[in-house]
Amino acid sequence: MKVEGRNAVRELILNGATIDKILIQNNLKDSVITEIVNLAKSKKIRFQFVQQNVLNAETATKHHQGVIAYTSEFKYSSTEEILEIAKQKNEDPFILILDGIEDPHNLGSILRVCECMGVHGVIIERVRACQVNETVIKTSVGATSYVKVARVANINNEIEKLKKKNIWVYACELGGDDLTKTNLTGGVAIVIGSEGRGTGKLTLKNCDGTVTIPQYGKINSLNASVATGIILYEVVRQRKI
């Protein structure tokens, strides 16, 4: 897998990922590039300075920013590992479940928000959903190095597992209870539906409830990553009161 972009590559190195080599564009001189070079030297990671056309030929995202790292495929976690992280931190589980997010830019942005908001992990499905690829890693600006992502066969089975562990599961959809008036403290998992069809009917049925973001304009829908940011912040806000 290719990881592209200065921040994404820097975070990859800092997180101790296995990196085969790094290509760096010739004649780039700034603090981030210098840091990447110094980190690569200190960790004995092979790196090579190349012409821009070499990077242009190798890029998968078309936005390499002068740096491409070659690493093994993204390592997925499990729901159990996510719950263990919460336990180790002595925190109530805080989980995001994605029901069919297909746009890699949305997934990358969502993972970036999750890292900022302290989410313990994200659950996605193996089919009919975007997987963690080069574009996701680039868009996340390095968040994929820190946020656990569990890839499962069926999110409804995972929802049942979470509910049995006293974790409340809420879907974010129109027509639900006011987000700001819903108690989101304690163990909680938030379900965000796909960009087009929203949350599946069976998944909605399996959730403990549905919450809706109050809106005051004429457009009644939000981008999936924007909606995720709003609802995750509300969870954090309530936990900090």
Q: Which tens digit of pLDDT belongs to each residue from 38-92? A: 999 999 999 999 999 999 999 988 889 999 999 988 899 999 999 999 999 999 9
pLDDT attached to residue 2:
92
Q: Which residues pair with 62 in a beta bridge?
A: none
Per residue in 121-144, pLDDT (tens digit) is: 999 999 889 999 999 999 999 899
Question: pTM to 2 decimals?
Answer: 0.85
Domains and their CATH numbers in the chain: 2-71 (3.30.1330.30), 79-240 (3.40.1280.10)
The region, left, alpha or beta by phi > 0 then psi within -120 to 50, assigned to residue 5 is: left
Give the tens place of pLDDT for each residue, 158-197.
Answer: 999 999 999 999 999 989 999 999 999 999 999 999 988 8
State the number of CA atoms in the 13 A half-sphere of 238 facing the CB. Answer: 17
For residues 4 and 64, is the Cβ–Cβ distance under 8 A? Answer: yes
Q: What is the pLDDT of residues 183-240, one digit of tens each?
A: 999 999 999 999 888 899 999 999 999 999 999 888 877 899 999 999 999 999 999 8
Q: One-letter amino acid identity for 114? A: C
Judged against a pLDDT cut of 90, whether residue 29 lies above it is answered with: no
DSSP 123-164: EEESSSS----HHHHHHTTTGGGTSEEEEES-HHHHHHHHHH
